[in-house]
Amino acid sequence: MSAPRQEGAPLRAGVVGLGWAGQQHMDAYTARPDVDLVAIAGLEDEPRARLGDLYGLSDAGLFRGYEEMIAQADLDVISVATPTALHAPVALAALAAGVHVLSEKPLAEDAERGAAMVEAARSADRVLDVSFNHRRRGDVKALKKLVESGALGEIYYAKAGWLRRSGIPGLGTWFTRKSLAGGGPLMDIGVHMLDMALHLMGEPAAEAVSASTYAKFGPLGRGGSVDRPTVAAGEDGTVPFEVEDLSTAFVRLSGGATLLLEASWASYIKSDELYVVLYGSEGGAVLGSSGSWSESRLEVHTELHGVPAELFPALGPDGRHGEAVDDFLAKVLAPDWSDFHGEDALTRARVVDAAYRSAEEQREIRLDRPTRQA
Q: Which residues of the chain have pLDDT under 70?
A: 1-6, 227-238, 370-374
Per the CB < 8 A criterion, the answer to whether 320 and 135 are in contact is no
Give the whole-angstrom CA distance, residue 96 versus residue 90: 10
Q: Which backbone phi and psi does 320 adopt, to 5 degrees?
A: 50, -140
138-318 fold: Dihydrodipicolinate Reductase; domain 2 (3.30.360)
Helices (H), the chain: 20-30, 45-54, 66-72, 87-96, 111-124, 138-149, 178-181, 185, 191-201, 320-332, 343-361
Beta bridge partners of 247: 213, 263
pLDDT for 293: 83
pLDDT tens digits for 146-194? 999 999 999 999 999 999 999 999 888 899 999 999 999 999 999 999 9
Q: What is the pLDDT of residue 230?
A: 66
For domain 11-133+322-340, give the CATH number.
3.40.50.720
Whether omega before 106 lies within 30 degrees of 0, making that bond cis, reads yes
Give, in degrees to the nearest 5, the angle at Cα 182 between 318 and 348: 50
DSSP structure string for 317-336: ---HHHHHHHHHHHHHTSS-
Domain parsing of the chain, residue ranges: 11-133+322-340, 138-318
Q: Tell me the one-letter amino acid at 228.
A: R
* The model's pTM: 0.93
Contacts of 9 (CB under 8 A, 6+ apart): none
